[in-house]
Amino acid sequence: MLQPVRRRPHLRPGAVQARLPAARARPARDTQADQRPPGVQLLLRPGLGADHRVLLPALRGDGGERIPAAGAPADQRHPTRHRRPQAQARRRRHIVNARLGLDIGGTFTDAVGVLNGDLVWAKAETTHHDLKDCFMEAAARAAERLGADLADVARDAEALIYSTTVGTNTLIERSGPKLGLLTTMGFEDTLKVGRSRSWADGMPLEVRFAKGRARKPEPLIPRDEFTVSLRERIDSRGQVLIPLDEDEVRTQVQRLVDLGVRGFVIVLLNSFINPEHENRVRDLIHEEYPEVYLGRMPVFLSHEVSPQMGEYRRSLTTIIDAYLRVNTEEHILDISNDLLDMGYRKPLFLAKCTGGISSVSRTRPVHLLGSGPVAGVFGARALAEEYGLRNVLLTDMGGTSFDAGLIVEARDRLYEADPVFDRWRVQVPVIAHWSIGAGGGSIAYIEDRRLHVGPRSARSRPGPACYGRGGTEPTVTDADVVLGYIDPDYFLGGRIKLDAALAAEAVRTRVAEPLGMTVDEAAWHIRHQIDGIMGRSCT
């Protein structure tokens, strides 16, 4: 048991020093070298001699004025100790209130730093094997341009904002966890049937007109294996018509667990009006697999993710949110832990496709899809305001994609309802923007004796042929090197040296010779075609 602390009587200023014994000066000390201001006293703990004397700063003199801390001590055993706090404070003053923004793209990662009105930027290659690496490299380069190291910036930064593509990558690569879907009996085929033109969602324009070539995407949750039905029904007014069979819920959940699912998506009819049955299904799952255990099963309810009518879109939105959760959460927490180790104590803010930013704990994974281009729209609006522009068409050509957006009458809040990400239509309002697969890494190829450019990209690894990393297919970057638009000696600030001979060889073997052209003509056609694709996307 802790003993109560006995309260000591209050001492007036200077009383502690008045009660100390007079300190005996060291014999070998040069009194001329002692530069202490008059009135600074010596604090001696009991049992310590004069050799252990410690300067006590911020005392008050007889007139009540503050006495500054002493200068350098004559005892040279600690010649620089008094300078350390001053040096650290001086360094921190230069970086306090800095802000960092980072965006990870398919080819490059961009970082922007703002301090006292000064803006710096930095780039790093995107490391697809671990996005945290390129995040930290780009942030460190931006901090260096601010005149500090990343640890100092992280410790004193006012805000750190991040727009991530980890969710988009998870959708494209189909690398999410194995999930089970529990839905109302009779609605097991909702995702398979879709809507009237759901087969065209996310398809290139030329394929939409060639219906014979169109194919529906493979569902994220297979219909026959991981989709089960529950005997229950709630009508459109929220009245329970058929009660939930709890024994059936337990049986179906156990069946899905035996098949290896690692999470459950619950989409019951009209649950956005009355969520009683969805909530009860979650409670039953948590009874079988409590959250405190290692084998816990996350549960995602449609009325929490997308409380709107429309069974197909509500089902898809909930499934995608659950599908992105694991990879997104692991990535964000990995970065957050590294920043925490550096001393960053503010929330890590995430850019959202719905507009604005929010902390990690207030962000759903589905809201991170397309967050990078949306953040660009807000940045363009700020720039347009500075120049007094009210109607702006903004574009961004990266290494993998080409993004376009609009500002109309100084308004950037132009929303697109039910946008399509990859091949999926989600029930989330998104700031209007358009993205196509046209960038510096877009691959040029011949098909049916015709030249095509994109949407496939060489990305940063292996990259265009001119990178010299094993890539053999010609890209837009290779064509620009051949035509002289890009300086091979100053790419990515000179950190990447491009090989013009490899670029010319790739264009010659893959495009020029099959079409009977010179290398320069083939490179011009590659550039001309990608310019046309980007131009048409803006009309």
Cα(24)–Cα(21) distance, integer angstroms: 9
Which residue blocks in 163-310 are alpha helix, DSSP H?
166-173, 190-193, 205-208, 223-226, 246-258, 276-288, 302-305
Cα(56)–Cα(42) distance, integer angstroms: 6
Nearest to 500 by CA among 514, 518, 480: 480
Most confident of 91-95, 375-379, 409-413: 375-379
Instruction: Give pairs for 497-505: CB < 8 Å, separation 24+.
Output: 498/466, 498/467, 498/468, 499/465, 499/466, 499/467, 499/468, 500/466, 502/465, 502/466, 502/468, 502/478, 503/464, 503/465, 503/466, 503/474, 503/477, 503/478, 503/479, 504/478, 505/465
Indicate the pLDDT class of residue 34, thresholds 50, 70 and 90.
very low
Cα(482)–Cα(294) distance, integer angstroms: 56
% residues pLDDT > 90 (the chain): 45
Mean pLDDT is lowest, of 1-15, 244-258, 266-280, for: 1-15
Indicate the pLDDT class of residue 63, thresholds 50, 70 and 90.
low
Could you read off the pLDDT of 292-303 as tens digits, one per residue? 676 678 999 999
Question: What pLDDT sits at residue 33?
Answer: 46
What structural domains and CATH numbers belong to the chain? 93-169+331-365 (3.30.420.40), 174-323 (no CATH), 442-537 (no CATH)
Cα(96)–Cα(157) distance, integer angstroms: 6
Phi then psi for residue 70, to 5 deg, are -70, 160
Question: What pLDDT sits at residue 209?
Answer: 62
Could you read off the pLDDT of 98-122 as tens digits, one per residue? 899 999 988 899 999 998 778 899 9
Question: What pLDDT sits at residue 446?
Answer: 95
Joined together, the tokens standing for residue 5 give 């602390």
Higher-pLDDT residue of 169 and 381 is 381
* Mean per-residue pLDDT, 418-425: 84
% residues pLDDT > 70 (the chain): 78
Cα(295)–Cα(49) distance, integer angstroms: 62
Q: Is the pLDDT of residue 28 over 60?
A: no
* Mean per-residue pLDDT, 302-317: 92
* Alpha-carbon separation of residue 169 from 130, 163, 173, 263, 327 (angstroms): 12, 13, 6, 20, 10
Q: Report pTM.
A: 0.73
Higher-pLDDT residue of 206 and 264 is 264
Could you read off the pLDDT of 359-386 as tens digits, one per residue? 998 899 999 998 888 988 988 888 899 9
Mean pLDDT value across the chain:
82
Helix (H) or strand (E) holding 60: strand 59-60
Could you read off the pLDDT of 215-259 as tens digits, one per residue? 777 889 988 889 999 999 999 999 999 999 999 999 999 999 999
Q: Is the pLDDT of residue 20 over 80?
A: no
Indicate the pLDDT class of residue 399, thresholds 50, 70 and 90.
confident
Q: Is the pLDDT of residue 51 over 70?
A: no
Cα(57)–Cα(77) distance, integer angstroms: 19
Asked if residues 35 and 71 have their Cβ atoms less than 8 Å apart, the reply is: yes
Indicate the pLDDT class of residue 455, thresholds 50, 70 and 90.
confident
Q: Is the pLDDT of residue 322 over 90?
A: yes
Could you read off the pLDDT of 338-354 as tens digits, one per residue? 999 998 988 999 999 98
Cα(344)–Cα(362) distance, integer angstroms: 19
Mean pLDDT is lowest, of 86-100, 172-186, 396-410, 438-452, for: 86-100
| C-alpha dihedral, 348 to 166 to 364 to 359, nearest 10° | 10
Question: What pLDDT sits at residue 328?
Answer: 92
Question: What pLDDT sits at residue 384?
Answer: 92
Asked if residues 431 and 354 have their Cβ atoms less than 8 Å apart, the reply is: yes
Question: What pLDDT sits at residue 45?
Answer: 47
In 326-391 the beta strands, taken as DSSP E runs, fall at 348-351, 357-359
Asked if residues 431 and 413 have their Cβ atoms less than 8 Å apart, the reply is: yes
| Cα Rg of the chain (Å, integer) | 32
Q: Is the pLDDT of residue 23 over 80?
A: no
How many other CB atoms are there within 10 angstroms of residue 447's CB atom?
7
Q: Is the pLDDT of residue 124 over 90?
A: yes
Cα(33)–Cα(35) distance, integer angstroms: 6
Cα(183)–Cα(12) distance, integer angstroms: 75
Q: Angle at the Cα of 506 (from 131 to 469), degrees rounded to 5? A: 35
Mean pLDDT is lowest, of 161-170, 192-201, 506-515, for: 192-201
Mean pLDDT is lowest, of 78-92, 223-237, 304-318, for: 78-92
Nearest to 410 by CA among 430, 376, 384, 386: 384
Mean pLDDT is lowest, of 58-62, 349-353, 394-398, for: 58-62
Q: Is the pLDDT of residue 3 over 50?
A: no
* b/e map 307-317, b = 16+ CB within 10 Å: eeeebbbbbbb
Half-sphere exposure of 127 toward its Cβ, with a 13 Å CA cutoff? 11
What does the DSSP assignment read for 121-188?
EEEEE--TT-HHHHHHHHHHHHHHHTTS-HHHHHHH-SEEEEE--HHHHHHHHT-----EEEEETT-T
* Mean per-residue pLDDT, 512-539: 93
Q: Is the pLDDT of residue 66 over 80?
A: no
Cα(510)–Cα(516) distance, integer angstroms: 11
Could you read off the pLDDT of 492-517 as tens digits, one per residue? 888 889 999 999 999 999 999 999 99
* Mean per-residue pLDDT, 254-273: 94
